[in-house]
Every structure is written in structure tokens, then in C-alpha cells.
Structure 1
Amino acid sequence: MQEESSSQDANIQATNYQLSTPKKEKKQNKTNQSTTIQSPNNNDFYSPKNVNPWKTPKSFLKSNTKQATPEHALQASPYGDRYIPLNVSRNLFNKQIQPFEIEEENVYEELLSENVLEIDENKNVNILNFNKQKVEKLQPNKQQETPKRKIDTQPIKVLDAPGLEDDFYQDILHWGKNNLIAIGLQRCVYLYSVDNQKVFKLAEPLNNQVNSIQYTSLQWNTNGQILGMGSYDGVLRLWDYNKNMYTGTMNLTTKRISTISWANSNIFAFGSKDKTINICDVRVPNYSVFQLYGHTQEVCGVTFDGNELQLASGGNDNRVFIWQLRGGNTNTDNQYVSWEIKSHKAAVRALAWNPNSSGILATGGGNQDKTIKIHSSLTNQLITSINCDSQVCKLRFSKIINELVSTHGYEKNQICLWQYPTIKKIHQLEGHSERVLYLSASPDDSTILTGSGDETLKFWKVYPSQISNNMSSFLNMCEIR
């Protein structure tokens, strides 16, 4: 190949320079090929005004042949030079580039993993693995769930009660403030002392009486001093615990007294089979204050609220009345009635006011109803109703925890604990073989007492409060029958 001399082309313009490429040789000399760039001697051609000395001219890039680097480009760059390893430069255009392999371990990383991060070499640990591990947000305001309390499924004490009547219209069991349990058995009233585990029988008011009296309702007043005793013949008697004697007698009806409720230590109400409710006060002559009329059949349940201003009554006519005891005595029918509830389909014997919520009343229906209903006497509205699939015999709200206790008859004969206000069943106790008609609680409200037609009394520890010293000694000395 003949190269043209630069002297002969001195008059050629810079833009008309030519490239000469050597002819192809044999394949074995391919590695010795080179490309020579012929450029004019005009130094202005590579001046900064025309071409950047550190960039390859665009005209060079149009050619597919390999180009040799100009000699002036070998000058030292003011920006320094780039080092590209040979093994990388050979594979720049190879799609299957393999990653670098580190042959030697980094001593610093090894010490860091062992002494700071505590990473085991035998385990594959991914630091900052955000995809697999989610960091839980802190919730400082969220309260931890309190563990469920343990409730004994077996009674802590069982007592025989021979002659305990299986009668839906009697209420002959009550645990008083004085720690005495009053119970009616076979036409007699017995008192069981929890303090010393002794039982004694109340003497009859008249020694010359041939036929003993059948008591159908019993209840202590709020301080545990006076016991109200209603009988089958409609006579109500008062027995004084401190004086150990009868202090009064009332003949206000001729039919059985099914229920008694004390508002305080002096005022009480009782309902009878003659459809009336009598309000009485032990401080007035003859004890009678006034009567309430509204039920069309026997009154089988009465109870005062905690404020002593409202009285709830349930009857065999399937109705519940809320009475406002204000304004004094009156002979006008229904003047005291503030609300009449007609939602039950059977006799209503079970009534309970919530001591933790004002105006909340729970009512339970008989065998044809089998429901517990929660009412508000402040708004005169039904709040909720639940089907128990069993006759509701008694209801009682706890003073310790906002819970409701219910006892049942046909057909399950069980005791249930309900959470308020959700009315969610917490637990159920099974142990009686007949209807659980009677329910009362200890003075400290930690233990409930149930009585059944199976002629047994059973003590259940259901609430978390601590038992008093008297109750503790009683439970330690007692044995399961």
C-alpha cells in the first residue's frame, strides 16, 4: 500500500482528509493489523474551537473499522485517566458477564459479623431484609388484654336442704348482711350461721298453734337486723335478729305472699297472689303505707333500685311495671306507673337492677318465654334481648364486676354468667339436677348461693374479690358432702 505524502496534500482542506486502511491479510496475521490515521499538518484542525481533544470525532464513529488513537491523544489528560481491567474490557460486549469472585475473605467484615452483629457462619442471615420481615409499629396507647379469670366449675360447699320446695312462686332463701342464711324448710324457718356453722330454728310466734305456718318468702333488710317473713295465708311477720324475737305482724291480704324486697332498713314492699303490691314502713303504725294496683294476676317478683325511687314488679300476667315512688299516698289506680313492659310471653319472676348503671333493669321470662331482656327506665326502651333456651328463674347483678348472674329451670337447670353490656355468656355452672329457683350472695358479694328442687344448697366462688375473714374460716372448715 502506498501512502500519500503530507507535502503533496498541503493544499487540501482539513475537512477533506482521507483514511487509508491496509488490505486484508491472512487470518494468522489478523492480530497484527493496525489502522493509521492520516491527518493534515494544520494544527488548527484539533483546536478547542473545532474538536474537543478528549473526544473521538463523530466522523470516526461512522466507520465500522477499528481506529488507532491519535498521537496527540496520548498526552496526559487534565482530568486523569480511567483504568479498565483487561478481563473486563474483553467482556464488555458479552451478554454473559460473570460476577467477580472474592477469593480472600475480608478480615474487617469477619470481625464485624462475629463481635458486633453476632452472625453465625453456619446460618444465612440477611441484614436489612425489608421484604421478608415487617417491622411492627409501636402502639403505646393500646392496652394489653387482661387474662381471663379462672372460675371454679365445682361448688366450694354443698349443704343438704331436705324439704326445700320446688315452687316457682316462692322465694325462701336469702343471705343477709349479718352473715346469716335464712331458709324455709318444711313449714319452718332455719338460720344458718356462716361464722360458726351452726343451725337453729326460729320459734313459732304462738306456742298454742297446732298447725305450723308455711312460709313462702323470706328476706333480710339492708343492715341484716330484721327478717321479713311472708306466709301462705297472707300474714307477714317481722323477726328482730338483735332481740331474737318477733316484733310485728301484718294482715294486709288473705293470699300467699310470693316476694319481698327491702328498699332500706325500714321500708319494704311485698307482692301477693291477690294482684296487689303493698308498700310498708316499720316506723309507722300498722306498717302499711299504700298499695299499688296494676297486675291482673299474681305478683311473683318485686325489687327496688339502688336509689330507692323506683320499684320493678313482675307478674304471672307476663307483664312488668316500673313504679315511681314519689308524691306520697294515693288510692288512684296506676298513678305511680311510669312504664309497662309487655314484651315477655310468660310469667316474670326474675328481676334485677344494675347497681353500676342507673336505670338499667334485667327481666327474665318463664318456661314459655326463656329470654333475658335488658331495659332502660330512663328512656323507657328495650336495649337488648337474648334467648337462653331455658326457663329464667332468678337474676342478679354483681356489685364487684359489671356482670349478670342468671339461674335457670326447665330444661337445663344451670347457672350462667353474662358480661354487661355486651350480654355475652362468660361461663356456665352445672351441678343441680332440678330447677335452680333460689339465688343469693354473700355480704362481700364474692360468693353466690343457689338452691334447687333437688334439696341442696351450693356455694359458688365466681368473683375475684377476696373473701372476708369469716367467710374464709367458713370455707376452710367445711367439707364437700
Structure 2
Amino acid sequence: MTLRSTMQGHTHTVYSVSLSPDGSQIASGSGDSTIRIWNADTGKEDCEPLRGHTNDVSSVAFSPDGKRLTSASHDFTVRLWDVKTGQQVGEPLEGHTREVKCVAFSPKGDRIVSGSTDKTLRLWDAQTGQAVGEPLHGHSDWVLSVAFSPDGKYIISGSDDGTIRFWDANAAKPVGDPLRGHNDAVWPVAYSPCGAHIVSGSYDTTIRIWDANTRQTVLGPLRGHKDTVRSVSFSPDGQYIVSGSDDSTIRIWNAKTGQTVAGPWEGRGGGVIWSVAFSPDGKRVVSGGSDKTVKIWNADLD
């Protein structure tokens, strides 16, 4: 993996990066309370920084059509933005009683799910900004990550309580028992593109791959990182997983064998790699970290 470009502008840690569905734009959320939208080809900003949050922006996610962006913040709110204009859409989504750590759009773009240090998940109507149903209770500690299944039927969440939980996205209720295997907090969780598998990373420095149907570990624990695994993402074809860690490195793993196939690469500047994601064509990896930058890497997997 080779460094392609570095985007500078944030004045604090970049906690989250997200690529638009067509791969043309990158959104980044930072501890400087702003969101920036970058041109993935030129590395230049497409608009002025998005301002409105009053505390760390912990998570950002593009809508499936790429026209909107949602963000989560330590100011207890979720917000919606128009990507073209950089303007906030509607009022802040309020309901969580503590910091919001994670946010994701449903595959159809009609729902948003968020997770918070108040130990709950919440569902929101992406058009009206209204809460859908009551908060989802089940975790006994902070909710650190959320993701919709590709078919939109389920939501998964990772928590400081060391478990992963499944939720029925329509009925808004927990499904089955929590997934246990990690020895510490589960930070990132992600579905494979086909929805058959789930990948998780943990404070215990390992990565696990789970069968989404049987909910059993099918691969792992994968060892290589020397500190907390903060972020994981499947490649678009589901063959690889990229991970970022507190050990300042990025690794790419074979999703079937669990072997490291590329890396570890130092994040150029050191510090925590908070967020990693594959581009839609699988040829690049985007990362954000405590060095306050967004970086684009050539995956070099061919």
C-alpha cells in the first residue's frame, strides 16, 4: 500500500471518514467540531467546512444516493447535511442523553441509526428527522458502532460491554442473544457486502469474523495489531478487510483465510488510526487519525 495523498485542514483528530457511493468525495468528522468534504481525486475541499456541532464529530456517513450526509457528535445530537450546498438539513436530531458515538444510513436511505454512551440505539426518519419508536435498550455500556445489514432488515451494534447485538430494524427490538467472544470492548462492526458475514474489532487488539446467520465466530481471533482496533471495513468484493489501530498501523487481511496480505503500514505521522474505509472500486483506502489528516492510499492488491 502506497500513500497517494494527504488532506490537511482539520485542527484536531479525524475520528471518522466516509466515501460517497460513487467514490468521488470523502467526508471527514473531527474533534474540531467540523465536517469537511473533499474531492477524492484532487484532495481539495468541495465546500466550506460544515459547522453546527458544538463538540467532537465522532461519526459521519453518506446517504446511499450520495446527496446527504449524517453526523454524530459528542454534543448529544445527530445532524443531516446537504452535500452539494454544505448546509444543514432541518433541525438537529435530539433524543440521546449523552455523547453520540456512531451513525449509519439504512440501505434505502430512509432511516438512520445512531448509538450513544447513554447505552442505547435510536432510529430516525431520514426525511422528517423524527425519532422512530423508543430507544433500543440491551447493551449494558456505551454503544460504539452501528451498521445496517445490506438488505436493511437488521442492525448490528458493538459495545463497551464486550458484545455485539442484533436488532430487528423494522420491529426495533433485539434479536437473539448477544455475540460474545472478544475479551474487551467491541469498537467497530461492519457487514460484508453480501450480508453473510460480520467483522468486528476490539480493545483486545483482535479482529473476528462471524457468520451472520449462525452468529458464530468463523475466523479469528485475528492477531497482528498491538493495540485497540478502532476501525474495520470490508472491500467491495468482500475478499479483504482493512483495519486501523491505536498502534498507528493499517493492515489488510484476507477475509477467507485471516492472513495479513498487506501491511502493516505506519500512518505517516504516527498516532491512532481512528477510521479506515475502502473506496467503492476497492483500489484505494482512506484513513483518518490523530495526526489531524485524511489520507488516501493505493491498496495495491492486484
TM band (smaller chain): 0.7 to 0.9
Letter in 2 for 1:297: D
Q: Please tell me the root mean square deviation across aligned C-alpha atoms, in Å.
A: 2.4
Q: Distance in 2 between matches of 1:284 and 1:191?
A: 24
Aligned length: 293
Q: Secondary structure at the match of 1:439?
A: strand
* Aligned equivalent of 1:239: 81
Q: Distance in 2 between matches of 1:370 and 1:197?
A: 32
* Aligned equivalent of 2:116: 272
| Displacement of 1:198 | 3.3
**Is the contact between residue 339 and residue 380 of structure 1 (CA under 8 Å) also seen in structure 2?**
no
* Aligned equivalent of 2:28: 183
With CA pairs under 8 Å and 6+ residues apart, which has the higher RCO, 1 or 2?
Answer: 2
| Displacement of 1:274 | 0.5
1:215 equivalent to 2:53? Answer: no
Letter in 1 for 2:33: R
**Is the contact between residue 280 and residue 290 of structure 1 (CA under 8 Å) also seen in structure 2?**
no
Which consecutive residues of structure 1, in runs of 5 or more, have no partner in the other structure? 1-151, 206-210, 330-334, 466-481
Give the structure-1-normalised TM-score: 0.56
1:403 equivalent to 2:250? Answer: no
| Displacement of 1:342 | 2.1
Q: Secondary structure at the match of 2:123?
A: strand
**Is the contact between residue 323 and residue 339 of structure 1 (CA under 8 Å) also seen in structure 2?**
no
* Aligned equivalent of 2:192: 354
Q: 1:193 to 1:389 in 2, by over 3 A?
A: closer
Q: 1:399 to 1:172 in 2, by over 3 A?
A: closer
* Aligned equivalent of 2:230: 393
Q: How does 1:311-390 map to 2 (within 5 A)?
A: 311-326=155-170, 328=171, 335-356=173-194, 358-366=195-203, 369-385=204-220, 386-390=222-226
| Displacement of 1:355 | 1.5
Segment drifting more, 414-423 vs 176-185: 176-185
**Is the contact between residue 164 and residue 452 of structure 1 (CA under 8 Å) also seen in structure 2?**
no
| Displacement of 1:287 | 4.2
More helix by share: 1
**Is the contact between residue 165 and residue 174 of structure 2 (CA under 8 Å) also seen in structure 1?**
no
**Is the contact between residue 36 and residue 50 of structure 2 (CA under 8 Å) also seen in structure 1?**
no
1:307 equivalent to 2:151? Answer: yes
| Displacement of 1:449 | 0.5
**Is the contact between residue 319 and residue 347 of structure 1 (CA under 8 Å) also seen in structure 2?**
yes
* Aligned equivalent of 2:271: 434
Q: Secondary structure at the match of 1:172?
A: strand
Identity over the aligned pairs, expressed in percent? 21
Letter in 2 for 1:317: D
* Aligned equivalent of 1:194: 40
Q: How does 1:32-431 map to 2 (within 5 A)?
A: 152=1, 154-165=2-13, 171-177=15-21, 179-185=24-30, 186-194=32-40, 197-199=43-45, 200-202=47-49, 204-205=51-52, 212-242=54-84, 244-248=86-90, 249-264=92-107, 265-284=109-128, 286-326=130-170, 328=171, 335-356=173-194, 358-366=195-203, 369-385=204-220, 386-390=222-226, 391-400=228-237, 402-410=239-247, 413-431=248-266
Letter in 1 for 2:178: E
| Displacement of 1:406 | 1.4
Q: Secondary structure at the match of 2:88?
A: strand
Structure whose CA Rg is larger: 1
Give the structure-2-normalised TM-score: 0.87
